[in-house]
Amino acid sequence: MIAFAVLQGPLPKLGVIAVALLAGAVIVGREPARRAWAMLGALVLAPTLLLADIWHSPQLSIVHRHPLEAAIGAAVLVALVIALAALLVRRPRLVAPLAVAALPFRIPISAGGNAANLLVPLYFVVAAACLAWLARVFWGSRSGGGLAVATPGARGRRDDAGSASRQPFEKLLAAFVVLYAVQAVYSADFTTALQNMVFFYVPFALLLALLRELRWDRVLLARCLGVTVVLALLFACFGFVEYATKTLYLNSHLIAENGVQQYFTVNSVFLDPNIFGRYLALVMILVTAVVIYDRRLHLQIGGCLVLAVLWAGLVLTLSRSSLAALLVGLGVLAAARWKLWPVLATAGAVIVIGLVALAISPKTFGLNQGLNGASSGRANLVTGGVHMFAQRPLYGYGSGAFVTQYRREYRKISTVLAASHTIPITVAAEQGLIGELVYLALVVSVLVTLFRGIRASPARVAIAAAFLGLLLHTMLYADFLEDPETWALLAIGAALAGQQAASGARVRPRRTRAPVAPAIR
């Protein structure tokens, strides 16, 4: 209550920096006890900051009118979190499939005057998993479930030696989170920066720390992939129902847009067809890795059937950015499985064919409307973002300020088209060269970590291909560190790279066809 009262005043900006520092400590820390205290601090401070920000908003009016009922509801929620945490203390590896299952589900909630699609089920899982991890650290519980970190007394000790190392990109990731908080201090839209921190960066940093510490063996990888595939198939079938009935059950804006367009776009449960398409594309990349690496007939037939269903669902999203992400991911898989040069030659041929098609029939691709019309207004976002960067090239307009400043610069632009769709330009406009350099260093470091020696492990190939596809999607649409899939891929990729390095695996470039390998190991 004291912290809440203090944060009602001029100190929320310091609170955002403090919670970012705590999240960064969880990411890069090595001593379990210190990381545990940082995790506990982040768990307490993040919701406190959010409550302080929205306490007087209409969304909490029911709390003010019915405090007793609200307290009972909060108590029930806390009890459910504690119950799940008790289960995870005994079975820590259950965190991974639970988190993977919760990744896609977004619930539209208004906070502080802004509407956001929040990953409430994932927050629930992360909170319970954090409590379970804290219980094992503070009380020294040694369940044999395969968690990498056991007790604070065993300094640096881990059940799996591959988890002992920290990857270089993790320091850059922590630095970016802290820098985002610091640059929120002078932001033109501090509320958005605060909400991005408490809704995305902090819980996802905790998620990364939890997933990274697990032993990612073949069983756990297969279990998580199975959960993902089942969900993707269900979501695709839901999209088929939407298309067949020409009815959308979520996203009122898209419902109105479909009413005036000649085409019909499905979004399933994702509230956004492009996010739905991204999810399907990433799952297709992972399934393709199984098909090309594992020669067991039932897996190949099943994988091809899954790909056919997901492809149909992806087409119905009409998401060009997702199709591009899928092509990039498949190209990475082909280059890693066989040879690089045929893949480059094929990619070049596809580009040439595409340019010829554009030249022959530009109207088919919407180019008769100009580049901005063909890109659904994103060309204006790019030029506007570059203009904003040119005005403040060093430090930008502050974290989370893109939409607010863009509307100021271009007052006739609609609300939807004011939202950024190209992450590097967003970072440049909001955080200037300072943030852009950290972002670029982070991306390069991640790619080096994920791609170094990947041919020794089909699982690493799949993760690297999926991440590169996701990275391309962020260049064409949005949501890099605001997407939990990014953090999940980073956590698994870092864990697998650490395990491979610790096992002393020697990776040599292959000049011939790869030997048969299990799909996941």
Q: What angle do CA 109, 98, 521 make, to 5 degrees?
A: 135
Gyration radius from the chain CA atoms: 23
Q: Hey, what amino acid is at 128?
A: A
Residue 516's pLDDT is 39
Please give the C-alpha separations between residue 6 and each of 14, 45, 165, in angstroms, as whole numbers: 11, 12, 39
**pLDDT tens by residue, 466-503:** 999 999 999 988 789 999 999 999 999 999 998 888 87
Decide if pLDDT at 415 tops 50.
Answer: no
3-state secondary structure of 295: coil
Residue tagged 């890693």 (tokens): 336
Pick from 293, 226, 348: which is nearest to 465 by CA?
Answer: 293
Q: Write down the domain spans for the chain.
A: 2-212
Q: Within 13 Å and on the Cβ side, how many CA atoms surround 81?
A: 19
Distance in angstroms between the alpha carbons of the first and the last residue of the chain: 48
Question: Distance between CA 35 and CA 37 in Å, rounded?
Answer: 5
Mean pLDDT of 296-317: 94
394 CB neighbour count, 10 Å cutoff: 9
Residue 224's pLDDT is 96
For the record, the structure tokens of 306 come out as 């899954």
Question: Is residue 436 within 8 Å of residue 428, measured between CB atoms?
Answer: yes
* pTM of the predicted protein model: 0.85
**pLDDT tens by residue, 63-104:** 767 778 778 888 898 999 999 999 999 999 999 999 999 999
Q: How many helices (H) and strands (E) does the chain have?
A: 22, 2
Pick from 17, 165, 58: which is nearest to 500 by CA?
Answer: 165
**pLDDT tens by residue, 231-248:** 999 999 999 998 888 887
pLDDT band, residue 58 (cuts 50/70/90)? low
Q: Hey, what amino acid is at 216?
A: W
Pick from 24, 99, 72, 14: which is nearest to 48 by CA?
Answer: 14
Question: Distance between CA 81 and CA 120 in Å, rounded?
Answer: 12
